[in-house]
Structure 1
């Protein structure tokens, strides 16, 4: 697993409407990387360098009944350790992340953050931001 450490620094969910309208509700998930820098983690075998990534994960409902956001940091260790400089240089020069790294980061963040956002949505009586599997009966 390329993510060695994970820390949430801010969680917010706001219900902006007192009634939930009928019909279809669109939900937009927006993961965003705010900053990347060299980071390190201490392990029993010594220090390991990696890429520290500061992120914000936003959930927006349409119609605008609520919004949510989670901020945090994670330590990413690429499969090839020599790629750390390449990743950081691309960020410093162009504020871009290669698609493979971005996919790994977003998948990890979504896996870690979604259960917490589902609990908050349940407590605030909001629709979930991801579909929940449902059992349907077939009529013959």
Structure 2
């Protein structure tokens, strides 16, 4: 797996409205990569060098009843070690993210953060950001 680990540095959820109006509430998830830089982690076998990805995962509601932001970092290891410098150079010059890195990071963040966001939404009595399966009674 290209992602070795992650660190959450900020969780900010704020409810703007006291009562949530009935009707349709639209929830928008916006994962964003803020910065790429050279990073390393110490393991029992030595140092591992990779790409540190600073991210912000934003959740917005329409109508504006709340907003949430989770920020942190991920240590990403490219499949080929020689790609690290290439990915970082493209970021420095053009602020473009390698598509493979982007997909891996977004998928990892979704798996790690969505369960936490579900618990927070439940505790703050906000609409869930993902559809919850519901049973319906069918009449025959």
Aligned to 1:128: 128
Matching of residue 4 in structure 1 with residue 4 in structure 2:
yes
* Secondary structure, aligned partner of 1:109: helix
User: CA–CA distance in 2 between the matches of 1:81 and 1:133?
Assistant: 42
* RMSD between aligned residues: 1.1
TM-score by length of 2: 0.95
User: CA–CA distance in 1 between the matches of 2:4 and 2:132?
Assistant: 29
Aligned to 1:105: 105
* Secondary structure, aligned partner of 2:84: helix
Aligned to 1:89: 89
* Secondary structure, aligned partner of 2:120: helix
Query: Which stretches of structure 1, 4 residues or more, deviate above 6 A after TM superposition?
Result: none
Q: CA shift at 1:137, angstroms?
A: 3.7
User: CA–CA distance in 1 between the matches of 2:101 and 2:63?
Assistant: 32
Q: CA shift at 1:35, angstroms?
A: 0.9
Aligned to 1:24: 24
Q: CA shift at 1:138, angstroms?
A: 3.5
User: CA–CA distance in 1 between the matches of 2:94 and 2:138?
Assistant: 53
User: CA–CA distance in 1 between the matches of 2:138 and 2:59?
Assistant: 34
Aligned to 2:13: 13
Could you tell me which runs of 5 or more consecutive residues in structure 2 were left unpaired when the two chains were aligned: none
State the aligned residue count: 140
